[in-house]
Structure 1
Amino acid sequence: MSEALRVGVIGAGPWAHRVHAPGLAAHRGTRLAAVWARRSEAAEALAEAHGAEAVGSFEELLDSVDAVAFAVPPAVQAELAPRAARAGKHLVLEKPLADDPAGAEAIVEAVTGAGVAALMMLTRRFDPEVQRWLAGLPELGTLQGATGRWLAGGLLAGDYAASAWRQQDDGALIDAGPHAIDLLDAALGDIEEVHFADRGADGLWQLVFGHEGGTTSTLALSLRMPVQPSLVDFAVYGEHGCAPLTGRRTAARECYAQLLDNLLVMIREKRVDHPCGVHRGLHLQRVLADVLKAR
């Protein structure tokens, strides 16, 4: 690509400030061109900080960019992403893809029909450490199962204390769940069944998944646990031992730069398939729905 990809950000919340806007502005292959948010003053502040334009409507943003990065609640993304895809815009999509499987299916249909590139913000999948971990799993031989913990206090205070969709009873599952479920799924193969799902009164989820091939995994998940630092770790077990994945060594903004690298390759090579594309998002949406049914 001879010129930087013009990208517009929709939303002006914490993640847009912390990752999307600075990441797009800093990347050599992209330019943050426009920002639109339902709170115009927030859009103006974010745009001004990065030399972009705050626009007055979603339609105006689409007219001024080549791609759109979403930093909005799932229901809003489900409404707007199909319109952006049908307008021929490439997409950076938040997780979960939508607020229900029907909304996710509509996004997949629009993206597939338009032939645009689209990637999910499954941040840790773009972490070199995670990529090395996944690539090394064949050394374990026949895989037998996996465990995961994602225990943090992100909903107790700070940036997300006022985030209505995260603060609902299922907020931890909807917010952190796609990341954790995706890692277990990528390690063992597609989740085909939810064997057990329980959310305690304190917001702690305990989940057991059945994967293709008959392996199982377990996940403990909470964003209301006052632990410092957060406990985020995974382990896969096989006939030759165990492969742990502990902590996070790569910052989210560096993972975002890797995501943008991938998006630009997809656009240049006119590729629509990717392990973190919209079909992945639809699969995860269906797993979330199955968890809620099983609870």
Structure 2
Amino acid sequence: MWARRAEAAEALAGEHGAEVAGSFDELLGSVDAVAFAVPPAVQAELAPLAARAGKHLILEKPLADDLAGAEAIVDAVTGSGVAALLMLTRRFDPGVQRWLADLPDLGSFQGATGRWLAGGLLAGDYAASQWRQQDDGALIDAGPHAIDLLDAALGDIEQVHFAHRGADGLWQLVFGHEGGTTSTLTLSLRMPVQPSLVDFAVYGEHGCSPLTGRRTAALDCYAQLLDNLLVMIREKRVEHPCGVHRGLHLQRVIAAILKAR
């Protein structure tokens, strides 16, 4: 285990009986894989080093703090041939996977809506997270999860038709997907709602398919992610629906939103 603050690493390691590395290079010399839990700009700096050292990666979302950083991670991962997965937690939920698999039963898609409304920036662990507290923090942190689900449901987002962030941090977004279908997303991490309001719905010629609430505990989703990573390593597979190219696509959508707002 390694952290930029040695005292933080020692405290967490003490809880789990883990060893603490004195530097990032020392960590790379003692492990086969690296799981990142750092701000996007830090991941953009360190993940390419780990990939080029031949270490498999579990990456936070978004990949980086800008498009150039995300592209550098993708180049390092593809160049080294390591396995890498993005922590898109809900995509490793079997219930969400079934929801996505059943969507073709709706026939021709007519559109979709999404809401991701939570108060994480008002209290709790996120309240002290500087990168999340910036004006675009909700988009950068929760945005990849929500955008990914709409994109996976309707097809690649090709256009950002409308993007607005209110003074209270509430985002209103309209996307154009491949094939001409549109979706809308309302997003905030400053909404005083308990519990969080997270739901999606896809509309088609044969009706509507909703996705509400969390269907599988986060820890179980993380276990599914680790299982997927082990299969990729064992089978020497580099492509995955939640791999680095997915992360780069989401980074491009976020960049388009910031340009359009």
Same topology, TM > 0.5: yes
- Contact 2:116–2:197 (CA under 8 A) maintained in structure 1: yes
1:224 corresponds to which residue?
Answer: 190
Per-residue deviation, 1:250: 1.1
- Contact 2:96–2:215 (CA under 8 A) maintained in structure 1: no
Q: 1:286 aligns with which of 235, 248, 252?
A: 252
Q: 2:18 aligns with which of 52, 55, 65?
A: 52
2:87 corresponds to which residue?
Answer: 121
* Structure 2 portions without partners, runs of 5+: none
Aligned residue runs from structure 1 range 241-280, under 5 A:
241-280=207-246
1:202 corresponds to which residue?
Answer: 168
Per-residue deviation, 1:48: 1.8
- The aligned length equals 261
Matched position secondary structure for 1:136: helix
Runs of 4+ in structure 1 over 4 Å off = none
The answer to whether structure 1 residue 112 and structure 2 residue 78 are counterparts is yes
Aligned residue runs from structure 1 range 1-20, under 5 A:
none
Q: Which letter does structure 2 place at the counterpart of 1:81?
A: A
Per-residue deviation, 1:45: 1.4
The answer to whether structure 1 residue 167 and structure 2 residue 116 are counterparts is no
Whole-Å separation in 2 of the counterparts to 1:106 and 1:42: 28
Q: Which letter does structure 2 place at the counterpart of 1:91?
A: L
Whole-Å separation in 1 of the counterparts to 2:119 and 2:46: 30
Q: Which letter does structure 2 place at the counterpart of 1:252?
A: A
Q: Deviations over 1:241-283 (max 9, x none)?
A: 0000001121111100000000000000000000000000000
Matched position secondary structure for 1:137: helix
Aligned residue runs from structure 1 range 131-170, under 5 A:
131-170=97-136
Structure with more contact order per residue of length (Cα contacts < 8 Å, sep ≥ 6): 2
* TM-score in terms of structure 2 length: 0.99
Per-residue deviation, 1:189: 0.3
For the aligned residue pairs, the C-alpha RMSD in angstroms reads: 0.5
Q: Which letter does structure 2 place at the counterpart of 1:171?
A: G
- Could you tell me the percent identity over the aligned residues? 89
Whole-Å separation in 1 of the counterparts to 2:256 and 2:241: 21
Matched position secondary structure for 1:161: helix
Whole-Å separation in 2 of the counterparts to 1:180 and 1:38: 29
Per-residue deviation, 1:117: 0.1
The answer to whether structure 1 residue 238 and structure 2 residue 201 are counterparts is no
Whole-Å separation in 2 of the counterparts to 1:238 and 1:51: 51
Per-residue deviation, 1:46: 1.1
* Structure 1 portions without partners, runs of 5+: 1-34
Q: Which letter does structure 2 place at the counterpart of 1:199?
A: R
The answer to whether structure 1 residue 91 and structure 2 residue 68 are counterparts is no
